[in-house]
Structure 1
Amino acid sequence: MIILAFLPIVGFAQKYELTGKVIDDSMDFPLEYASISAKSIEDGSVVNGGVTNRDGVFSIKLEKGTYNLEIEYISFEVKRMNNFTIDKDTNLGTIRLGAKAGELDEVTVVAETTQVEVRLDKKIYNVGKDLTTSGGTVSDALGNVPSVTVDIDGAISLRGNENVRILINGKPSSVAGFGDQDVFQQLPADAIESVEVITSPSARYDAEGSAGIINIILKREKTLGFNGSLRGTLGDPKNTGAFADLNLRTDKFNIFTSLGYTDRTRPGNAFSDTQYLDPDDDDFSRVIEDREYDRNGQNYNINAGVEYFIDDMSSITASFFGRLGDDRDVTTNLNDRFVLDSTNTEIFDSNTIRIEDELEEDERFQYAINYEKRFDKENRDHKLTADLQYSNSDETKTAIINEDQLSPVDSVVAFQDVLETEFRESFLVQADYVLPFGDAQFEAGFRGDYSDQNQRFLVDRLVEGEVTPNADISSDFDFQQNITAVYTQYGDKVGKFSYLLGLRYEQTQLIGTTTPLFPDDVSSPDLLDDLDFDKNFGGFFPTVNLVYELGDDENVTLGYNRRINRPRSWFLNPFPSQSSRVNVFQGNPNLNPSFASAFDLGYLKRWEKLTLTSSVYFQRETDAFERIRRDSGRRTEGDNIQIIENIPINLATEERYGAEVGVLYNPTKWLRTNLSFNYFRFESEGDFEGTPFGATNESYFGRFSSNIILPWKIQWQTNAFYRGPRENAQTKTDPIASVDMGLSKDFLKDDNLTVSLNVRDLFNSRRRDQFTVAPTFIDDSSFQWRVRQVTATVVYRFNQQKRDQRRGGDEDYGDGEFGAQ
């Protein structure tokens, strides 16, 4: 190193300056961080090189001689100038680069349907171009991503496994609802830039989520000048929305904001037929519930920030996210109740109507500061990033629940006045350092994620004509989750072989304190014992990602990672929440985290018009979560109906394996297709309170998407989805099939105005039908979260083209050469 430091002093050869400017050939805007290399004619080695600044300008020094010049930029064709001679200071002027469809280290399929990029450890789906989700929600957009399924009630799964970690821009966020997935049914899909599906996460990611990670990247324009878009939606059932995306980029600042307002109605329905085995003489033998959901919500969203470029090598960004929600949900539940007569024949006894009128006010805010320092002008990946983030949410629900008997006499069965409040806040501190050298890369980092949640549940009920508190339900639950993590990883490429090895350590503390609001009136005081917990656990989480290039368009990948699945607060809260008087969900404070080891073997092959991606995977999880239904041992007041509770438990082990395949086929310019299929099977074993709950189940799901360009440049997109039957220890679920369809047409000069029409669930078939067999009852149920939705959307863009302009600028959420996040 000392000798190298003195080399400039002893080098007296005269050098000349080579300058120029690199721009996008189609957009005429400068390309920042384009690379310029001067190579030796004899052996092809790089003599000198550099990168362009924010104005696309470069400057390098060269001795007198003849060189081969190469100008490169991500996703663009390489510009070559062979046998270029320099003998004086030379300005090459403006160099124009044209875009290309793909690169050797990734696959990019450009279409108006979802674009796909295949990286070493993940697949990136640019869902912003999906016609069928225009005017929809984040849940709608995720439901069209291969490997991902969104259940009828909004639960998100990856390869059929619900234990998935969801991040926003690479970090946990209040946008993601602190793990609560309900928020994704409120946020607009148009806010999403891309979705990263990470089935073999590297060490930089959280170890949370045994199925893997879904990372949602929000839109953020990087084009110079003032630009943006305005969008409006109108739908049936009511789906009204207005959105604005605005961006101002100068040499020193990048100011961005997204504003949105929605007013939606989401009608749904459910049905349940429960038959009780061996009922007592005064018990109901059967209860049929028929529910109608009328959900109405208004939401305001803002995502804004400013990035200040301190100099060419460093910047600081401050951002803010806010969401205000005002919802009203009315649930009408008709109950028919039956008894057995003296001949053991089932006869009608009575019917009731239960109306739950719930008002919800929801506020979520997030404040973040990001600092980025680059150390090498010629290698922008050598950098240090630091993040500080504070998030909070404040939610208040009030509900009046009336249940009246309609026949044989008109009378009041039950009355409840429910007040539920929840306040959550979290602090995130993170730092990451990346050091590339040659084809290798070293990385290390720290993350601290600390959150606190308080939930109060106060229920007043009608007892003998008087409204009194329900001590068995009313409670305060305080939950803290503290996670501290450090990691390091190293990757390199040797010939056709690349590897990324990492190790992460996470220390977790889960603290829960349950305080009954009326402890002296609890019907079973012994149930108050052992409600509080303080769980501490730590562990190492190794990751391995390997890739071998069989050719320029063919490779094989192998991944291994160890994961953890921590129980969420609602899985630990021991006091029951109720969707009906006879079916309740109750948390389990004795629930422990589960740990999983996962292997993934993938294969990629590209042809001119077809791309094939495939993988087989295996996962073994200990203390896996399972939700079971059982007799609670409690009865409803007044009519003495058996209460069935749904609780989470730890099973001994679960082994899951499967295979998936994806085919992108674009035979002509007017037809593009995307087909994916996923098969999985799992075997679980274990028991709870002496009852075995092990099961063997296999299922599959597939989706097909096609984009057709009709005459007059009308685009027609169709998405079809099918999920096969499923089964666990108690419940069989029937298959589900659905179809979404969208049409789109561009207008005005440069296609600045786009009008689209789409239908979600064209045949109104997205419904979950289940059959449950338990020791004391059997249940036949059906649930439809939302009926068919028709939406029209109008988008107007100003000072920006329709095509995506973010081609590998410095908007980087930790990707890097090895796909490390």
Structure 2
Amino acid sequence: MFNALAQTTINGKITGKVIDSATKAPVDFATISVFKADSKNPVNGISTDSKGNFSLSGIPAGEYRVTVDFIGYREKVFNKVTISSSTTTVPLGTILLTSATTQLNAVNVTAKVPIVENKIDKVVYNAANDLTAQGGVALDVLKKVPMVSVDIDGNVELQGSSGIRFLINGKPSTIFGASLADALQSIPASQISTIEVITSPGAKYDAQGTGGIINIVLKDNKFQGVNGSVNLSAGIRLENGSINLNARRGNFGVGVFFSGNTQLNTTAKNTTNRTAYNNARDTATNLFQSGSNPFTRNSYKTGINLNWSVTPKDELTATFGYNDFRNHGTGFTSQNQSVMAGGDVSSAISSTRTSASRFGEKAVDFSLGYKKTFKREGQQLDFLYLSSFGTNIADASQQTDYLTGAYPSAGLRSNNPGKDRQTEITLDYAQPLSKSFTLETGAKTFMGNLTSNVFTDTLQNGAYVVNPSQTYSFNYKRNIYAGYASLSFALFKDFFTGKAGLRYERTHTTGTFSGAGIPDYNTFAPAFTLQHKLDDSQSVKFSYSYRIERPDYGDLNPFYNISDPHNISTGNPLLKPEISKNFELGYSKNFNNGGNIYLAAFYRNSPDNIQALSTYYDVLNVNGTDYTAVSLTQRFNLGSQKNIGASIFGSVPVTGKLNLRTNIQLGQRQSSNVGLATVNAFAYRVNLNATYQFPHDLVAEVFGNYNSQQKNIQSIRPAFFNYNLAIRKQFLNKNASIGLTTANPFAYYITQRQTLFGSNFNQTNVRLIPSQSFGVTLTYKFGKLKFDKEKDTTPQLPDMGQ
């Protein structure tokens, strides 16, 4: 036993020198990867220095496979490389790499991961190669991801659905619970390694998210030594900064990061013109509002991750993250309200409204994972414990003053502290049954607990007094118990490959607020994917998934938001979960010149579709207080919705220096709603990205995006267009770069004109949203460079059991 223990603590070494077999010149930055004998994922690696030498130390005892490769050369493989107590150093000697293709004059070979990779269960967008988004935030990257669209307000849709399950490194976080747009604004683009899009998740994944899953993978690696990067950007609207530091020695690694960003003060302008009709009284009420809203946002994130290969087959990982983001807005609005009777103005009221809002959240995420592999390749046990805890505070106030003095000033101010706690325990097991079949099974428990207190004061006779009808506390709990079984298969000599499975989830929800009689329910969610490779460069796949969108506490909570007394919103405790049945047919083709194309057709049927509905009231009584000329917005299970559409992604290297990429998404949406007219609406999104490589490590990029208008039940969402320009110069042997970026440089505002309508009102909103920006970005990488493929070293969602 003592000898066996001693062997596992051996720090072995592998050395060698890599040269070109034809020219005998050293090959610098060649990738040396070390694999366990029974694994497809590297456990260690390094790149050669300027003289082609490498020395990789800290390797535990065991048998390994070593590969040596570089773009443009044939890979060299060394099998059965053994580290033991008697052989602690293995010299591979001089390694000759031979050219994979005929050498051409004046051809520069660049090691670069494709910006989009299509896999059997997901599409991976490699954000590290995205130039125009690097000075921005996660939302800027998402605009370029296939099948994803982002509107002017930061609302994200996946194949036309807003029901998206967002994860970070394969794990959920409480930062997505309070404000999704704020959370996505808090993640600098320079911190993102890849974004994974899963439109048809398998049975192993949570059933939550009718549109699918978006997983944001942050930068990380497992290579020996110390390395890191610093990213800074400054501009007239947004400032970003981040630092990453990774260190690994032997079988233990640690990574730390810190990032922060600030959206500088910007002022949006808006007008609202609403006319409502009362046929019984033969009157029309007009409300005109005109105002401006200065707004700021700032955030920072930090964290640490630890990785310990206890033995060659036992691995422990632990992560800790802290997130802090907050925003602050103020507003001043002029209001004119008039009533027309018989064509004449019977009354008119002029007023001004001042408002302020402040929101902040602090969230802590902790995870502990254990992975056990066995002698049989593919047999694996995974355990994950995840705890996420967030505290938030939301303050809001508004006061209306009447210019004529005929009415006393009216106002509200509220304070809403809350806490959000989530705990997940997941166990997954994979068992190969044969070379063609692998069974996966697992179980999961989710426990969520949210507490909130609402304190509201009302302005009365010049003083604020407690409003008991709007002052209360509530506790909201949701527990989900799940289990699944899934079978991966290869049929007819790999003519078909795929995965099929069934997931069961039991949802138990309780709430202490009024009307919160929420029943328990069971969900059986089947899913399957079938793929056929036409040849080595192209494939087709068909998938089906059954998804669910559970209403959260914000949808259910009947608290009235009266920050604008003429536009009030509230939750609906009677909401039922929304179901979605998703079908997708996809085709993928890779070309010899590096280009690729992905085509997908999709169909989604969603009964009990949850949508917002606005109703106009001449007078609305809220807990004993009357409000006049009010539009009340509430969410309902209005009926069913069907979406049919297509997504097209293409990357074309026009020349050796010019590359074009495009994303096109189009679809038809049909909403059949009880008591309302059926709505048929067509919408599309098109973007184009062009990159040009100049001499002397100078590259430029142009990105343009257009979203068409979209008709909904009560509104027409306006179209919008935005574009970005960027140029970057690399220096210090490509370890450093400086870039210039700009967004919409020729227009300070984007104008958004939206129409809303109901059975007794028509409304037009016009918003002027600041969009112009100019900035500079600085990047510096130090330590050992990482030239391995991201897919081999970044956290992969399937391994997380989510």
Q: Give 1:674's aligned residue.
A: 661
Once the 2 structures are TM-superposed, how far is the Cα of residue 227 of structure 1 from its aligned partner?
Answer: 1.2
* Distance in 1 (alpha carbons) for counterparts of 2:269 and 2:100: 48
User: Is 1:430 the equivalent of 2:413?
Assistant: no
* Distance in 2 (alpha carbons) for counterparts of 1:61 and 1:351: 82
Q: Per the alignment, in what secondary structure is the counterpart of residue 332 of structure 2?
A: strand
Q: Give 2:549's aligned residue.
A: 565
Distance 1:675 1:392, change over 3 A: same
Q: Per the alignment, in what secondary structure is the counterpart of residue 661 of structure 1?
A: strand
* Distance in 1 (alpha carbons) for counterparts of 2:113 and 2:741: 13
AA at the equivalent of 2:606: E
Distance 1:811 1:498, change over 3 A: same
Once the 2 structures are TM-superposed, how far is the Cα of residue 282 of structure 1 from its aligned partner?
Answer: 12
Q: Give 1:657's aligned residue.
A: 644
AA at the equivalent of 1:224: Q
Q: Give 1:587's aligned residue.
A: 571
Which region of structure 1 is more displaced relative to structure 2, 590-599 or 128-137? Answer: 128-137
TM-score, L = length of structure 2: 0.85
Q: Give 1:303's aligned residue.
A: 303
Match of 1:641 among 605, 628, 638: 628
* Distance in 2 (alpha carbons) for counterparts of 1:478 and 1:484: 20
Once the 2 structures are TM-superposed, how far is the Cα of residue 287 of structure 1 from its aligned partner?
Answer: 1.2
Q: Give 2:360's aligned residue.
A: 361
CA contact (8 A) 2:516 2:574 kept: no
Once the 2 structures are TM-superposed, how far is the Cα of residue 128 of structure 1 from its aligned partner?
Answer: 2.3
Q: Give 1:474's aligned residue.
A: 471
Distance 1:308 1:23, change over 3 A: farther
Q: Give 2:516's aligned residue.
A: 532
AA at the equivalent of 1:721: N
Once the 2 structures are TM-superposed, how far is the Cα of residue 23 of structure 1 from its aligned partner?
Answer: 9.2
Q: Give 2:50's aligned residue.
A: none
The correspondence of residues 199-598 of structure 1 with structure 2, limited to 5 A, is 199-237=199-237, 239-267=238-266, 268-278=268-278, 285-340=285-340, 344-345=343-344, 349-376=348-375, 379=377, 381-405=378-402, 407-409=403-405, 413-436=409-432, 437-494=434-491, 495=493, 496-514=495-513, 531-598=515-582
AA at the equivalent of 2:429: Y
Q: Per the alignment, in what secondary structure is the counterpart of residue 139 of structure 2?
A: helix
Instruction: Provide the alpha-carbon RMSD of the alignment.
Output: 3.6
Q: Give 2:614's aligned residue.
A: 629
Q: Per the alignment, in what secondary structure is the counterpart of residue 623 of structure 1?
A: strand
Distance 1:95 1:271, change over 3 A: farther
AA at the equivalent of 2:337: R
* Distance in 2 (alpha carbons) for counterparts of 1:224 and 1:618: 46
* Distance in 1 (alpha carbons) for counterparts of 2:736 and 2:92: 38
Distance 1:537 1:113, change over 3 A: same
CA contact (8 A) 1:136 1:188 kept: yes
Once the 2 structures are TM-superposed, how far is the Cα of residue 153 of structure 1 from its aligned partner?
Answer: 2.2
Distance 1:581 1:391, change over 3 A: same
CA contact (8 A) 2:191 2:242 kept: no
* Distance in 2 (alpha carbons) for counterparts of 1:112 and 1:744: 16
AA at the equivalent of 1:187: I
Once the 2 structures are TM-superposed, how far is the Cα of residue 424 of structure 1 from its aligned partner?
Answer: 0.5
* Distance in 2 (alpha carbons) for counterparts of 1:470 and 1:534: 27
Q: Give 2:604's aligned residue.
A: 619
AA at the equivalent of 1:476: S
CA contact (8 A) 1:113 1:130 kept: no
* Distance in 2 (alpha carbons) for counterparts of 1:161 and 1:759: 30
User: Is 1:720 the equivalent of 2:719?
Assistant: no
Q: Give 2:735's aligned residue.
A: 752
Distance 1:383 1:784, change over 3 A: farther
* Distance in 2 (alpha carbons) for counterparts of 1:99 and 1:584: 69
CA contact (8 A) 1:51 1:58 kept: no
Which region of structure 1 is more displaced relative to structure 2, 549-558 or 576-585? Answer: 576-585
* Distance in 2 (alpha carbons) for counterparts of 1:715 and 1:511: 55
Once the 2 structures are TM-superposed, how far is the Cα of residue 767 of structure 1 from its aligned partner?
Answer: 4.8
Q: Per the alignment, in what secondary structure is the counterpart of residue 182 of structure 1?
A: helix
* Distance in 2 (alpha carbons) for counterparts of 1:50 and 1:464: 71
CA contact (8 A) 1:174 1:364 kept: yes
CA contact (8 A) 2:221 2:793 kept: no
AA at the equivalent of 2:570: Q
Q: Give 1:608's aligned residue.
A: 592
CA contact (8 A) 1:478 1:512 kept: yes
Once the 2 structures are TM-superposed, how far is the Cα of residue 126 of structure 1 from its aligned partner?
Answer: 0.9
Q: Give 1:520's aligned residue.
A: none
The correspondence of residues 149-188 of structure 1 with structure 2, limited to 5 A, is 149-177=149-177, 180-188=180-188
* Distance in 1 (alpha carbons) for counterparts of 2:335 and 2:113: 45
* Distance in 1 (alpha carbons) for counterparts of 2:73 and 2:436: 21
Once the 2 structures are TM-superposed, how far is the Cα of residue 655 of structure 1 from its aligned partner?
Answer: 1.5
Q: Give 1:699's aligned residue.
A: 683
* Distance in 2 (alpha carbons) for counterparts of 1:240 and 1:162: 28
* Distance in 2 (alpha carbons) for counterparts of 1:51 and 1:640: 65
Once the 2 structures are TM-superposed, how far is the Cα of residue 395 of structure 1 from its aligned partner?
Answer: 0.9
Q: Give 1:685's aligned residue.
A: 672
* Distance in 2 (alpha carbons) for counterparts of 1:705 and 1:194: 18
Q: Give 2:84's aligned residue.
A: none
Once the 2 structures are TM-superposed, how far is the Cα of residue 299 of structure 1 from its aligned partner?
Answer: 2.2
Once the 2 structures are TM-superposed, how far is the Cα of residue 230 of structure 1 from its aligned partner?
Answer: 1.5
Distance 1:61 1:584, change over 3 A: closer
CA contact (8 A) 2:138 2:185 kept: yes
AA at the equivalent of 1:248: A
Distance 1:372 1:681, change over 3 A: same
CA contact (8 A) 2:235 2:776 kept: yes
* Distance in 1 (alpha carbons) for counterparts of 2:511 and 2:152: 30
Q: Per the alignment, in what secondary structure is the counterpart of residue 134 of structure 1?
A: coil
The correspondence of residues 189-204 of structure 1 with structure 2, limited to 5 A, is 189-204=189-204
User: Is 1:33 the equivalent of 2:35?
Assistant: yes
Once the 2 structures are TM-superposed, how far is the Cα of residue 331 of structure 1 from its aligned partner?
Answer: 2.1
* Distance in 2 (alpha carbons) for counterparts of 1:587 and 1:761: 37
AA at the equivalent of 1:546: L
* Distance in 2 (alpha carbons) for counterparts of 1:756 and 1:112: 19
CA contact (8 A) 1:53 1:312 kept: no
* Distance in 2 (alpha carbons) for counterparts of 1:110 and 1:618: 40
Distance 1:70 1:330, change over 3 A: closer
AA at the equivalent of 2:201: P
Distance 1:806 1:293, change over 3 A: farther
* Distance in 2 (alpha carbons) for counterparts of 1:587 and 1:50: 48
Give deviations 1:2-48, integer Å, cap 9, x for gaps.
Answer: xxxxxxxxxxxxxxxxx9879996535641217699xxxxxxxxxxx
Q: Per the alignment, in what secondary structure is the counterpart of residue 751 of structure 1?
A: coil
AA at the equivalent of 2:519: K
Once the 2 structures are TM-superposed, how far is the Cα of residue 553 of structure 1 from its aligned partner?
Answer: 1.0
Once the 2 structures are TM-superposed, how far is the Cα of residue 634 of structure 1 from its aligned partner?
Answer: 0.4
* Distance in 1 (alpha carbons) for counterparts of 2:682 and 2:666: 8
* Distance in 2 (alpha carbons) for counterparts of 1:259 and 1:99: 41
Distance 1:136 1:699, change over 3 A: same
Distance 1:76 1:509, change over 3 A: farther
* Distance in 1 (alpha carbons) for counterparts of 2:574 and 2:249: 55
Distance 1:97 1:194, change over 3 A: farther
* Distance in 2 (alpha carbons) for counterparts of 1:277 and 1:641: 14
Q: Per the alignment, in what secondary structure is the counterpart of residue 210 of structure 1?
A: coil
Q: Give 1:106's aligned residue.
A: none
